Structure 1
């Protein structure tokens, strides 16, 4: 099930304070239920994914259908391209994707890796720019895709910038679910990986989220030195070992991060 939406500081939005519109909260829950693994769902499936009653889920879906954000063939619901207008409001209001995208294209062409830039959004990382010469596996990631923090190199880099209090709060509220045999599912292992990322200034993760892939990530800082995003390069594990990632990919990632810092104003 999908948890209730959270604000940027991690607090529940539907806290009963009377300051939230519950219909909007539930509508956003329904939208977020759709992803690469749930592209088309029945009413019952949507209710199950969101934890809403069938009646509430039905009202949300029919409202979204009337507004043009959801398609419906009489049985299955799915998102329509119009849903992209919701994300475009953010993308058009920030220069980060525009600045980072050319660098990712250059990196991908130079290294043959799939390259992404992510920002921290509550308890997840969200891809805001991406370039890939090929698909390495079945996972279809793109701009707007959300990634767990505890089992990805991008996530470890972003978590390393949190205060100890913020990091422990994240661990307390995040189920460490296993995605592969290599996923870190123990809090102490996550702590160790994040501490290492903070100490060395980069993170490497092999098969933590998807079998067969290894990634390396570095922080993207603005002109004040604050981390605003993380940038990664991903290749099949058969293509490069951890040491080869450090020798071949880390220098070019850091070089691009240094160049980008001059353009990322506070």
Structure 2
């Protein structure tokens, strides 16, 4: 299923911009080029130069140079006065998937979950203030908001995201709670920062999160953490389905043991693929 583009936000900065720019090894021009690539999404498949500048916060002159370079490299195309991504950009995502062996390491565990429950099963990590889907095993059942590898959703509105946020180091979580845009998607979406902090504390205590009608109506999910060999949370996995199939209480009761078994299986598999574990590390 296609990325719905619910969230439109650049990747969060792991360190302040001023600190990065002091680093002599840091290439600001590369950052700007990547920012331009990330500006295109479902809502903005084509943009004029002025729109790219507005979307990225770059000056028109800098945006123009970035675009011209990306056009020359084959990552961006030009249609009249409008710019758009070209298929060549897919090499970045496909290189990650191929080199990290996600299909071999993670997918079998999620497929087993899907086959036993009939639910969609996913694995995600944090990317800025969003979750980023790394693996998704879907069913034939239609849900209004679909997901696929590379889909991003706001972390606060998902069970996957709240599991990840709950296990962030205290400074990172405080920064998130201070800066994140807590968009309301339904009447059940948590947009109060104190309420979200309390929810995350509860997630840490019980070891899972369940979301009902938080990202969209009619969707219920439950998620658990995946840990590296040091015990740090490096990803989360969930089961997700329609509220017409099952109640939230029943979903948690029946899926939670299966998810925890799948998480242990993934953790064991990660031991055999240390480079994937290193890639998922949150530090």
- Band of TM-score, shorter chain: 0.7 to 0.9
Tell me how far 1:88 sits from its aligned partner. Answer: 3.2
Q: Is the 8 A contact 1:171 1:187 kept in 2?
A: yes
Q: 1:127 aligns with which of 133, 151, 171?
A: 133
- 1:82-161 correspondence to structure 2 within 5 Å: 82-134=88-140, 136-161=142-167
CA distance in 2, matches of 1:160, 1:51: 31
Cα distance, 1:49 vs structure 2 = 2.0
Across the aligned residues of Structure 1 and Structure 2, the Cα RMSD in angstroms comes to 2.5
Q: What 5-or-longer segments of structure 2 have no aligned partner?
A: 1-6, 275-283
Q: TM-score, normalised by structure 1?
A: 0.87
- CA–CA separation in structure 1 for the residues paired with 2:220 and 2:268: 29
Does structure 1 residue 11 correspond to structure 2 residue 13? Answer: no
Bigger share in helix: 2
C-alpha displacement of 1:15: 4.9
Instruction: Give, in whole Å, the separation in 1 of the partners of 2:208 and 2:237.
Output: 10
Which runs of 5 or more structure 1 residues have no equivalent in the other structure? none
**Matching residue within 33, 47, 65 for 2:39:** 33
Report the 3-state secondary structure (helix = DSSP H, G, I; strand = E; otherwise coil) of the residue aligned with 2:156. coil
> How far did 1:217 drift?
0.6
Number of residue pairs the alignment of both structures matches: 265
2 CA distance for matches of 1:212 and 1:38? 27
The answer to whether the 8 Å contact 1:47/1:53 transfers is yes
Correspondence 1:229 to 2:241: no
Q: 1:63 to 1:195 in 2, by over 3 A?
A: same
- 2:263 paired with 1:248: no
Q: Give how far 1:95 is off.
A: 4.3
